[in-house]
Amino acid sequence: WSNQLYRRDYVYFENSSSNPYLIRRIEELNKTANGNVEAKVVCLFRRRDISGNLNTLADSNWTVYKCVCLSCDNVFVGEFEEESKQPALSEQQKHQLKHRELFLSRQFESLPATHIRGKCNVTLLNETDVLASYLEKEDCFFYSLVFDPVQKTLLADQGEIRVGSKYQAEIPEKLAEGESDNRVQEKLETKVWDPNNQLKDAQIDQFLVVARAVGTFARALDCSSSIRQPSLHMSAAAASRDITLFHAMDTLQKNNYDLAKAMSTLVPQGGPVLCRDEMEEWSASEAMLFEEALEKYGKDFNDIRQDFLPWKSLASVVQFYYMWKTTDRYIQQKRLKAAEADSKLKQVYIPTYTKPNPNQIMVPGTKPGMNGAAGFQKGLSCESCHTAQSPQWYAWGPPNMQCRLCASCWIYWKKYGGLKTPTQLEGATRAGSGMSPFTRNEGRAKLLAKNRQTFILQTTKLTRIARRVCEDILQPRRAARRPYASINANAVKAECMIRLPKATKTPQKSKLVPRQSLASIVKDLGKNMSCDQHSFNNTHISNCCFCHLCTAVIVD
């Protein structure tokens, strides 16, 4: 990975040698007083970091514009359901896609830059994205929901496309030549300006000048306006904004483009008409609240209104924002931010982290033991891919269980926060392979006892072969004396795969167990029965267990 880091880069942070990496987005790079580099970052969360209820909510709302569920291959659009254009995904692909999903947040924290372990790529899930493509790219993640760590909620990052009869207009058929439109125009629309009026452009411009002058005079007479606009040129500037021009043109339309009537309408009997826009309606304290909210939420006007300005309408907040961007205060703040950004670090060089991980079971170069790990007994395999050979092994899970991962699965665990293959105990405290194929951890038995259902056990060929090849490890007599102790079949199969190439080529003879006939079995059972009335063993084979004497009595 490139060791040059910039603002807005997504990076891996390591806060623990055994836990997966944290994924963060760099917002600022600051140099501390002691010369170290500190990164102000935005937190992103994995599925393993949120509760089970929110994971269920994420499954049902895994969308940006469309809802693409991990548990099915359907796409839901508004109130309609259509066939998914996504390629069919296997269970393992769906399992791994959950590791690629992140949840954006507005939580900031400061972390030392020395804990950065690499870069990654995080994108907003788009409706045109092919989900399987994320699995083909290394260090590639996506997000579509925003997680609030305080409120424990998940919200969509973008609004949904409104599709359906509620939102789409019904376009009528085109009128034929000579056909009249019988619709009542007054009920369909309102005319606000007629370009084919009798006034010339110069006359309209003159009327607009008069409207601005009236607006300036009205602000001079209004006490509240004089407080907000203390100088004459500021009042004139406020009177020249769109609200005054819209009012002037609307006045011309209502008076049928009669200049004399329109001018008298501008100055009715009570005094000149004063039209205010959002810049004049907002107080200084409200403007300060808006700037504070904009600094926190950005252009998320719904959150700005909900948390800072609930007495304002959403349209009012949006209109004020676009007018505020034209003010000198916005330009001044923009310059201050640019100067502040210039004083901060633009980039930082992070050297490659080369220290050995404390979870390494074996240092490369030492003589390996059974299955490539010194100190670990035979029968152990990778908890994720179940391989028995790896150049490097890493301890994983509870230390007393001696679970381990191979080199590739360890890298996958650190980057994506899960195992490559779905397992029964993933997400919980797993008890892996011990020093024996028998599991001694009571917690594992409790976890396996959850939601037991009826099942059919169908033995595979590899399992039948493993019973014979690894009979010394399986120890069936010992297992029969402990019927409630579970057997680690993966460990036995892994050892079997190692022994198979070395096994004898001559087929082993199966042990034939002679079976008695049904008549002899019934006869033996009859000898062991006794009459309920007498102590005779000479029983009469029938539905009940009686001797021949008692049977005769019963018949009589």
540 burial level (CB within 10 Å; 0-12, 13-18, 19+)? middle
* Residue 375 pLDDT grade (very low, low, confident, very high; cuts 50, 70, 90): very low
Type of residue numbered 537:
N
136 vs 87: CA distance, rounded Å: 14
Q: Is the pLDDT of residue 548 over 50?
A: no
Helix (H, G, I), strand (E, B) or coil at 502: helix
423 vs 413: CA distance, rounded Å: 14
pLDDT 10s digits, 146-156: 888 888 888 87
Give the whole-number percent of the chain exceeding pLDDT 70.
71
Q: Is the pLDDT of residue 360 over 60?
A: yes
Cα separations in angstroms, 543 against 74, 218, 520, 551: 59, 113, 18, 11
pLDDT of residue 161: 60
Q: Name the pTM for this structure.
A: 0.50
Q: Is the pLDDT of residue 556 over 60?
A: no
28 vs 44: CA distance, rounded Å: 16
**Can you tell me the mean pLDDT for 504-512?**
58
pLDDT 10s digits, 264-309: 888 887 778 777 777 777 888 888 899 888 888 888 888 888 888 8
Per-chain mean pLDDT for the chain: 74
Instruction: List domains and CATH numbers for the chain.
Output: 9-72+91-156 (2.30.30.490), 189-276 (4.10.1240.50), 283-349 (1.10.10.60), 356-361+381-420 (3.30.50), 461-500 (no CATH)
